[in-house]
Chains A and B, each alone.
Chain A
Amino acid sequence: MKVGVLALQGDVAEHVSMTRAAGAEVVEVRYSNQIEGLDGLIIPGGESTTVGKLMERFGFVDEIRKHAARGLGVFGTCTGLILLSREISNSGQVRLGLMDFVVKRNAFGRQVDSFEADIEIQAIGGPPMRAVFIRAPYILSVGQGVEVLARFEDKIVLARQERHLACAFHPEVTSDTRLHRYFLDMLAGKV
């Protein structure tokens, strides 16, 4: 299993070590031609406007869409969730539109409102996950093909659509690899 971590901006190193710990071969993706041959791509936490602009400037948007059509799975955390969306309620910024949901940016507020909390995620099993939300978005509404995997205070914070997974918090800043393993299982067709 070969997974790329988009290495334009954000907490790339954290995702690299989590994904390696979860058992995949990992590459840092700095150029769009590195996506060829990957089973999965992770879009890390970062600043969504920055990552979106860099993706446009360096030819990633069409390339990721093209490979998603042939079966590339994409896992996005926070910024990655925003970029995976079909629509952003409070911004016209670039997005991939690979998942059929509407997201709200900075939906929980500014940094002083950032928080961590325990989240129940049935799909990954085991005890609740400690989830770190940083100026986090949440999903306002989902289309038919989207499965809601977790909520925090009835806000959707984790969702799956076929081979794509979107998460409003940052599993990569903890030591809990369950979501990364779940993504690898998705790519392998086990879940």
Chain B
Amino acid sequence: MVEKATFTVKKGLAEMLKGGVIMDVTTPEQAKIAEDAGAVAVMALERVPADIRAQGGVARMSDPAIIEAIMEAVTIPVMAKCRIGHFVEAQILEALGVDYIDESEVLTPADEEHHIDKHQFKVPFVCGCRNLGEALRRIGEGAAMIRTKGEAGTGDVVEAVRHMRRVMSEIRRLTSMREDELMAAAKEMQAPYELVVQVAKEGKLPVVNFAAGGIATPADAALMMQLGADGIFVGSGIFKSDNSAARARAIVDATAHYNDPDILAKVSRGIGEPMRGLAAASLKEEERLQVRGW
């Protein structure tokens, strides 16, 4: 029997992206630069997070014409973002045939209570998280891939580190628990019990977990990999820097060889200025994107 859109097929694509870098792009030209640098996928956007942050207003799904032009330009998978809870934007992205949908806190949420019921879609979803409970709630809703939220559009890696460390240490904590403690753990982290039991048993998330939100240098990418990320999203970090092609390639190489300081030193050399960035600690509460969604 032939079956499409099974969970194996959905999370399977994310598994094929492991050890790779997914780059935000806003034009077909940028998408080509990303592909030539060795990106495993691109995220098609109208504005990168740093510009969304600077310009303010309501951030929505991109114009389908932009997404389609990017899908035409490259042969690697193309992802696109919809607003949290905006299942019609997701329906539109599915109709366009994008390869993955990011239900993203970078866009202005459409629903402050409910995330999308992702089981209803053929196209797989990636969602952000700050801790294990949030990751498992999204997986419970059908997400086939997880990423840390970090703090998008800042070029400051501190929040991505915080979220990755938290997820990994909460997984380790679950694996050391007695079975009769897991229901209380599920209650405490507000996560589906069955998924808590699964993580406790296997010692890892049931889906791939990438790092995102503030990665700007090859060293940042390698840091996140050493902390346990399966791969890297780079948003504003590449096309807000002064030599995008060189930086993109260096981040790809650093992600592949994240445990080799000699290679990291070599690829970090002479790639121009990184994005100027914005210290995440200087943001006001209402400027923090990571608190969107739950």
Q: Show the binding face of A for B, using Cβ within 8 Å.
A: 7-14, 30, 45-47, 49-50, 53-54, 57-58, 78-79, 90-91, 105-106, 110-118, 132-135, 170, 173-174
Contact = CB atoms under 8 A, between A and B. Distances in A.
A140 B68 CA distance: 27
B76 A47 contact: yes
Interface in B40-90: 40-41, 75-77
Interface in B201-239: none
Given A50-B39, A115-B4, A117-B1, A10 B16 contact: yes
Contacts of B38: 49-50, 53-54
Nearest to A113: B4
Given A49-B75, A111-B123, A115-B3, A54 B94 contact: no
B4 A112 contact: yes
A90 B75 CA distance: 10
A112 B122 contact: yes
Contacts of B256: 8-9, 54, 58
A8 B19 contact: yes
Nearest to A110: B97
Contacts of A114: 4-5, 9, 12-13
Contacts of B35: 49
Give the size category of B's interface with A.
Answer: 35 or more
A47 B123 contact: no
8 contacts: A9-B19, A46-B16, A46-B18, A57-B253, A111-B77, A113-B4, A118-B1, A134-B12
A68 B98 CA distance: 38
B17 interface: yes
Contact of B2 (A46, A110, A115): A115
Contacts of B2: 115-117
Contacts of B4: 112-115
B6 interface: yes
Given A46-B19, A112-B4, A116-B2, A135 B39 contact: no
Interface string B14-31: 011111100000000000
A14 B35 CA distance: 25
A44 to B, nearest CB: 9
